[in-house]
């Protein structure tokens, strides 16, 4: 199972990157850090700078066809930067077009809204994103994890770092199914 983790050069909530990354690794999968620029990304612990991580692939040089699934970690700034980058938005949309599972946590559904892939789907997020989801034609629920299969692919969403255990379990189950196809 090969999984892309799409993040902006800065602003990702570190635990929302490292916890699912570790889960994929422990399940025998291969995570890859994909960003809009080469080099290293700067993670955050809320508003404080945390660690940096090396970029494995630049979004312009890779495609959904190379992966079994996509993880979109949150943080407030991360999805806001990603949704302003046309290549990043197209990369996200390509997973939906290919019918591959996507997992997004916290503020990450902002990138899904920009990719126009939430219409007719039910998902969860950090509460402040609910109006954007509804305005984009989706339904918002306040749940620890939501696995939505009412579309061309499976969409796994969670609200916050406190939901990571459930988020990791759901994304591992769905990504393992996709890797078997």
Question: Which sign, positive or negative, has the C-alpha torsion 59, 65, 71, 76?
Answer: positive
Instruction: Pick the catalytic residue from 83, 93, 100, 107.
Output: 107
| Separation of alpha carbons 71 and 153, rounded Å | 14
Place of tokens 């019918």: 99
> In sequence order, which residues have a C-beta less than 8 Å from that of residue 54 and are 6 or more positions away?
33, 39, 40
| Separation of alpha carbons 15 and 46, rounded Å | 10
What count of Cα atoms within 13 Å lies in the side-chain half-sphere of residue 45?
A: 4
- C-alpha distance from residue 134 to each of 3, 128, 138 (Å): 28, 11, 5
Active site residue 46: no
Active site residue 148: no
Instruction: Pick the catalytic residue from 6, 72, 82, 106.
Output: 106
| Separation of alpha carbons 45 and 47, rounded Å | 6
Token pair for 143:
């749940």
List, by residue number, the catalytic residues.
Answer: 106-107
């Amino acid at each position: 199972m090969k999984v892309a983790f799409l993040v902006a050069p800065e602003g990702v909530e570190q635990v929302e990157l490292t916890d699912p990354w570790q889960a994929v690794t422990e399940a025998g999968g291969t995570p890859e850090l994909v960003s809009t620029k080469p080099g290293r990304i700067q993670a955050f612990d809320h508003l404080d700078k945390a660690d940096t991580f090396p970029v494995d692939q630049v979004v312009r040089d890779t495609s959904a066809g190379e992966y079994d699934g996509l993880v979109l970690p949150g943080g407030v700034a991360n999805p806001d930067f990603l949704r302003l980058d046309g290549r990043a938005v197209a990369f996200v949309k390509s997973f939906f077009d290919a019918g591959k599972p996507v997992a997004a946590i916290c503020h990450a559904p902002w990138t899904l809204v920009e990719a126009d892939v939430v219409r007719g789907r039910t998902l969860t997020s950090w509460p402040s994103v609910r109006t954007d989801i509804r305005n984009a034609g989706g339904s918002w629920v306040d749940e620890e994890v939501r696995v939505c299969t009412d579309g061309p692919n499976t969409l796994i969403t969670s609200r916050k770092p406190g939901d990571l255990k459930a988020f990791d379990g759901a994304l591992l189950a769905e990504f393992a199914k996709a890797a078997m196809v």
